[in-house]
Structure 1
Amino acid sequence: MDELDLLKKDWQSDDSRNETKLSVKEIYPMMHKKSSSIVKTLFYISIAELLFWLVLNLYPYFASDKYREELAVMYGNSTMLLALSILSSLVIVVFVFLLFKSYKSISVTDSAKKLMENILNTRKIIKYYVIYSLVMAFVSVIIGIYYTLYHNPEVSKQFAEFSDKQMFVATTLMVLFTLVFILVFWLFYRIIYGILLKRLNRNYNELKKLEV
């Protein structure tokens, strides 16, 4: 039986009720500080991610003409590439803003119930962002493969000369590449955000016990 369970048990006793209330009042600030620190760290990580993707999205516009042409072929045209870059950047900006807003809310709240609501809200923000990122990664790979196969003359010609066996191997490799790419993305978010979310969930569960 952990400390929080003992506190709940003591709560039932009239003799120790005031002492337990004091204990809860002592525990809450620690939970509040810990939750605030976790969300603050998540916010800083999101800032770093925003800068990373901005650099990655802007790089083609400062790279060689040949590199830009290859990307334009891969994504159909430069407009498609620009649209994906802008969409990706905007979503990350919104994500950063929502995390910052969540951090500020947690920092000023003085209610355990409100803190729990803010933790739940932060969890939802992270969850939806990770889902969006995985979907966008999948869509980007599919678009890239599609336009490379059907709009790159050299690749299209090569595929047209493939035998059934070669086509099967090539298709299998593309599917495996897509799966590995998505898996790497998932592992990245699982490690970066998963560890902190696990701690945030632990805080939420402990706060829930205090509210019982």
Structure 2
Amino acid sequence: MDELELLKKDWDKGTTEFKSYSDNDIYPMLHKKSSSIVKTLFYISIAELAFWLLAGIIPYFISTTFKEKLDTSYENPLFLGINILSYLVIVLFAYLLYRSYKSISSTDSAKNLMEKILKTRKVIKYYVIFNLSLIFLSIPLSIYFEYQENPEFHQQIVDASTSQMLVLYAVAVIIAAVFLVLIWLFYKLIYGVLLKRLNRNYDELKKLEV
């Protein structure tokens, strides 16, 4: 149990000693915890960027088939643009979190700290929404790229009946839904836990402002 929780328990007991220094003790702890959480979020974003870079680089050098397919895909401006955009968004996300962490000053008032927590929450929210939207779009785009670049698959689509096309659409939707759920659970586990702690700090700061 951390110091803040112990102080809150003392608060509930209604001791006179706690009431005389409660705000001065609680605020520095909230400040320190908030700064630490944002710093951890920044490190996680860097780790995520490194993971996706390695996930793309390692197979490229160890698999000839993957290398050939990726080189062919990069000839398509849309595919290349989406990949560049996704990496740029991760870099931007890491930068915004780093800026949020560095902006938290020991001289911040409770109101200023609350505003910075709100900004951090918005950054994470938009980042998750962007990634989920990108994954949702990536499935039909992948099928489109395969249709354009793979002659065998192209012919299969041309020769497919209406029922076969419906099955293909259903499979694409199911795969997209599964990926969306898995990625959502990943962000819920990694970012959601820390975000929940940040929200608790925000609620405690609101009490101090009252």
TM-score, normalising length from structure 1?
A: 0.83
1:51-101 C-alpha deviation (Å, 9 max, x unpaired): 11222343465354532332355x473544433332222111111111011
Task: Give the AA of the match of 1:33.
Answer: K
> Counterpart of 2:165?
167
Of residues 101, 126, 139, the one that matches 2:124 is 126
Change (3 A) 1:170 1:142: closer
Q: Distance in 2 between matches of 1:100 and 1:145?
A: 37
Match for residue 203 of structure 2 among 187, 202, 205:
205
Spell out the pairing of 1:16-165 with structure 2 (5 A cutoff): 20=19, 22-59=21-58, 61-71=60-70, 75=73, 77-165=75-163
Instruction: Give distance in 1, aligned partners of 2:188 and 2:79.
Output: 27
Name whichever of 177-186 and 150-159 sits farther off: 150-159
Q: Which moved more, 1:170-179 or 1:116-125?
A: 170-179
**CA displacement 1:162-202 (0-9 Å, x = unmatched):** 23322222221111111111221111111111111011001
* Cα distance between partner residues in 2 of 1:95 and 1:188: 17
- Paired with 1:56 and 1:196, the residues of 2 have a C-alpha distance of 25
Q: Is the 8 A contact 2:135 2:176 kept in 1?
A: no
Assess if the C-alpha contact under 8 Å between 1:71 and 1:81 holds in 2: no
* Cα deviation, residue 42, structure 1: 0.6
Cα deviation, 1:98-147, whole Å, max 9, x if unaligned, reads 10111112244431111111100110110111111112222222211112
8 A Cα contact 1:32 1:115, kept in partner: yes
**C-alpha distance 40-171 of structure 1, shift in aligned 2 (>3 A):** same
1:44–1:78 distance in 2 versus 1, CA, 3 Å: same
Partner of 1:13: none
SS at match of 2:160: coil
Contact 2:132-2:183 within 8 A present in 1 as well: yes
Structure 2 length-normalised TM: 0.83
Contact 1:57 1:85 in 2 (8 A): no
5+ long unaligned stretches in structure 1: 11-15
CA RMSD of aligned residues (A): 2.8
CA separation in 2, counterparts of 1:108 and 1:89?
A: 33
In the TM superposition, what is the alpha-carbon distance from 1:205 to its structure 2 partner?
0.6
What 5-or-longer segments of structure 2 have no aligned partner?
Answer: none
Conserved? CA contact 1:102–1:118, under 8 Å: yes
- Pairing 1:2-17 to 2, within 5 Å after superposition: none
Using the aligned pairs only, state the percent identity: 54
Return the alpha-carbon distance in structure 1 between the equivalents of residues 48 and 119 of structure 2. Answer: 20
Distance 1:40 1:107 in 2: 13
* 1:110 alignment partner, SS class: coil
